[in-house]
Amino acid sequence: MIINLVTRIEFWSATLGLLGTVLLFLFGLPPKVDPEGHINIICAQVDEEEIKKGKMYKKLGHFGMFLLILSFVFQIIAILSYG
């Protein structure tokens, strides 16, 4: 039963769509950190940790969007294969 489920493209489409959605909402919309590393409390200071965090959030947001697109591609393939 589980092996049949894992080999079906609909399973992967739904799984990737869910993961992509979670990543996109956690890291992509809206940005939780300033990607340039500025701290709003102290105007003249740049925090290197915030720069790293901003880059990580941007990468994970893009990865989430990629998973969503891949999910839609799998859905289209499944629809076309059932003809």
The domain locations on the chain are: 2-82
Dihedral, 18, 23, 28, 33 alpha carbons, nearest 10: 150
Digit-coded pLDDT (tens) for 5-25 = 667 888 888 899 999 999 888
Digit-coded pLDDT (tens) for 49-79 = 888 988 898 899 889 999 999 999 988 888 8
Task: Indicate yes or no: pTM above 0.95.
Answer: no
Instruction: Name which of 8, 3, 54 is nearest 31 in CA terms.
Output: 54
Cross-strand partners of 46: 38
